[in-house]
Structures are given as structure tokens and as C-alpha cells.
Amino acid sequence: MSRELYVRNSPKLIRAWAMYDWANSVYSLTIATAIFPIYYSEITSAINNGIVHILGRQYTNDALYSYTVSASFLAVAVLSPLLAPLADQQRNKLAFLQFFCYLGALSCGLLFFFQGSNLGWGLGCFGLASFGFASSLVYYNAFLKDIADERFHDRISAWGYSLGYAGSVILLILNLLLILRHDWFGLADSSQATRISFIAVGVWWVLFAQIPFYALRRFQQHSTHHRPGTKLLTAGYRRLRHVYNEVKKHPELRRYLIAFFFFNAGVQTVMYLASLYGAEIIFRDDPQGTVKLIGCVLAIQLIAIGGAQLFWRLSARKGNAPALLIAIILWMCISAFAYFINTEYEFYAVAVLVGLVMGGTQALARSTYAKLIPTRSDSASFFSFFDATEKIATVAGTALFGLVADFSGELRNVSWMLFLLFASGGLLLWPLQRVSVLRPLGKTALQQPSIT
């Protein structure tokens, strides 16, 4: 197979790169959103009414779960700005991408051994899986700047997210079949089937990741190598300082990162905690509530495929900033409407809207930032800022969710907190409609390279 097939803007390279979304998104759906949280809740609720002891302290099971998520995100936010400059220095983003992919996938597989008697093991593996997943995205996202010209970023980013939603739905359906019909497969019970599904996530992640790894290895240049020694770490800090200074010199990039912090805090909070909202507000006394919630999660993923495609076409005609502003306005409407919902059908309507806007928001957020980066050589370093902002926003949003629910005593009030986050992000984003690289591309964005 000739190396010419894996050059910048080539459809074969772009399709292969996007397959990492297909590979890793099974973690975010199966482990982070659907199956593992339910399995964790069932195990820990059976222990002293949900009160668990670990490291000499007492926690509620839900609080301990959220702290584990927050800790993994904070670790990525702290470490990625250091590790990404090292990857740029070595011009070897692929090696870092592979390392964190294998760390996350192995940790998913090791969740097979998580049962009620080894809570620390389960939370440790879950935290490492989250850390590996989030860290690998720093380097995966950074390749977007390398593999294609700016006019194609919106379409390519949307294609990647669409593949991710599709792949994660396929494996989740297979895992649910394994769990609900475990006797068909000769398994003892649903608990054993659930733990096997964790292995399936790790295997899927690693196997399909080989497609982008092969293509990026052929694409990536290895001409520059740094001498081993203690200067490599200080070089990373120097590059980090350089990127920080670059961000300060580009007011539109700085404004976008701040706007992204606010609206992404809202998006990530909805993604991680919408199921809890539905369980407490709508399906609290419904014996089929868990099944209905998982059904909603599946529907959201499928609708998000179309949403990602819809919004990149909208950005081609209106521009990145206007398209993102439309998405943010829809998020504000969703947040306000969520306060008043009382029936499961109203909840389903909100879920449809979330799916429509979620895919578009995530895809455009990534490609918009890629367009604003001033240089290609430091792409991993710049994306480490993006990733750190995303993770800190996630921690802030989920923490605010808990604080508002705790102090107000009413979970519905969280809706207005989300409304304010989206409104703040929209106001900060508004002036960026004038930035030239974010203006409409029209028909040029719909031209080659062909992806399908």
C-alpha cells in the first residue's frame, strides 16, 4: 500500500483518523453513561444503604462516584498541558495517543474484576479508564489541524462524532442483549454479563484504534528526534509557556476559550447527569425507569449523528460562530423547558432536542478551535489548553449541579443554572462572528476531500 494514500487532505487518511471516534466512543456511552453507573449503583446501594467507606472516610455512593469522575478530569487538566508540549517537541503525538488509548482500554477490561468486595479496585480502574480516554483525545484532536485544511475541519469533525455515536450505539445494543438475555450465552447471571461487557469495550476500543494508528503512523513525519536527558522535561515547560503567551496574543482565541468554558460546562453536565435528572424527576416510581432511560440514551446517540451533520452544513452557510450561537440558543430553550416537564413524553421531547443539538455543538466546538489556532506545529500544545478547559468546565458544571440541588433542595432548579451557563457562553461568543476564519465557507466546504 503506497504512502501517497496517507497525505494531507486525502480521503483515506481522513476516514482512518475519524475511526478513532468510532473506537473510543464506546467508553463514553457504555462505561461513563449507561451500563457502568447502573452496575456501580446496584453494587454500592447494597452496601449499608449506599454508604461506603474508603481510605478511612465515609461517603455516599453517588458522591464517591462523582468525586472519582472529577479527580480523573482534574488529572487530565493538570497533566495534558505538560505532556502535550512534550509530544510536540518529539513530533510524536501518535505515541502519546497510543499510550493513553491502551491505558484506558486495559482499565476498562480490568473492571471485569470489580465486585462488591473490592470497591477501591473498581473506582481505581474507572478513574484510569476516564483518564486514558480524556488524555487520548488531546492528541487525537490535535491531528485534525495536521491532516486537513481549515475549510474541511467542520465536516471532518462532524464525521468523526457521527462515527463515534454510531459505533457506541452498536456495541451498547450488543452489550444490552448480552445482559438482558445472559442465559442465551450460558452465563450465570446479569452481573457476570455486565462485567464481560466491560471487557468488550476495551477490546472494541483497541481493535478499531489500529485503523487510525496505522494511517497516522504512515502520515506522521519522524525526521526530528530529541536527545534523551533531563532537558526534555524543561523543553516541555518552555513550549507550554510559549503556547500560553501565544494564546494571550490572540484575543479571539482567548475569548473563544472562555466562551467554550461556559457553554461546554452546560453541555458536559447534561451529558453526564441528565439520566440522574430523569430518574429523580420523571421515572422515580417507574419500575421500568432504568430501561426507559437507557432507551433515551440510545435515541440521543442516534439523533446526534444527524445533528452533527446538520450543524456542519449550517456552519458552511452561516459561519462557525453563528451556527454555535444557534446551538446555544437551543440549549437555553432546552434548559428552560426542562424545569417544567412532568411527564415521560415531555422528557422524551427534551431528549430528542438534546440529541439534535449535542452532536452539532461538540463537532463545531472542536473544529472552531482548530480554525483559531495560529500554527500547525504546536497543535497538540494548543489542544491541551482546549482539553484542559473542557475538563475544568466539566468539573465546574457537575459541581454546580450538586451545589444547586443540595442547597435549594429542588433538582429542577438546576435547569436555571444550566440556562445561565449557556447564556454566558453565548454572550461571550457573539463578537466572534466577525472573525474571518469563522465566516461562511459556502460551497468550498462541500467540495473535496470526499469522506464517504
Which residue(s) pair with 53 in the sheet? 58
> Please, what is the average pLDDT of the chain?
81
Give 14-33 pLDDT, tens digit per residue: 999 999 999 999 998 888 87
Query: Whole-angstrom distance between the N-terminal and C-terminal Cα of the chain?
Result: 20
> Nearest-CA neighbor of 36 among 155, 179, 147?
179
Q: Per-residue confidence at 223, pLDDT binned at 50, 70, 90? A: very low
User: With contact defined as beta carbons under 8 Å apart, do 355 and 166 qualify?
Assistant: no
CA distance linking residue 99 with residue 130, whole number of Å: 14
The runs of H, that is alpha helices, within 111-189 are 119-147, 153-180
Containing 344, the helix (H) or strand (E) segment is: helix 344-372
pLDDT for 74 equals 82
Residue 102 corresponds to which cell in the numbers above?
Answer: 491502551
CA dihedral of residues 100, 103, 109, 113 (deg, nearest 10):
-140
* Domain limits, the chain: 3-220+233-440
- Residue 214's Cβ-count burial label (10 Å; 0-12, 13-18, 19+) is middle
Give 43-91 pLDDT, tens digit per residue: 877 776 667 777 677 777 766 777 787 788 888 777 776 776 666 655 6
Give 233-285 pLDDT, tens digit per residue: 555 556 667 777 878 888 888 899 999 999 999 998 887 767 667 766 787 67
Architecture of domain 3-220+233-440: Up-down Bundle (1.20)
Give 328-385 pLDDT, tens digit per residue: 999 999 999 989 988 888 888 998 899 889 888 988 888 888 888 876 556 667 777 7
For residue 291, count other CB atoms closer than 10 A to its CB. 13
Q: Per-residue confidence at 320, pLDDT binned at 50, 70, 90? A: confident
DSSP code string of 87-133: HHHHT-HHHHHHHHHHHHHHHHHHGGG--TT-HHHHHHHHHHHHHHH
> Nearest-CA neighbor of 262 among 422, 388, 402, 406?
422
Residues of the chain by 3-state class (helix, strand, coil), percent to 5: 85, 0, 15
- Residue 282's Cβ-count burial label (10 Å; 0-12, 13-18, 19+) is buried
Containing 25, the helix (H) or strand (E) segment is: helix 11-26
CA distance linking residue 110 with residue 126, whole number of Å: 9
pTM value is 0.77
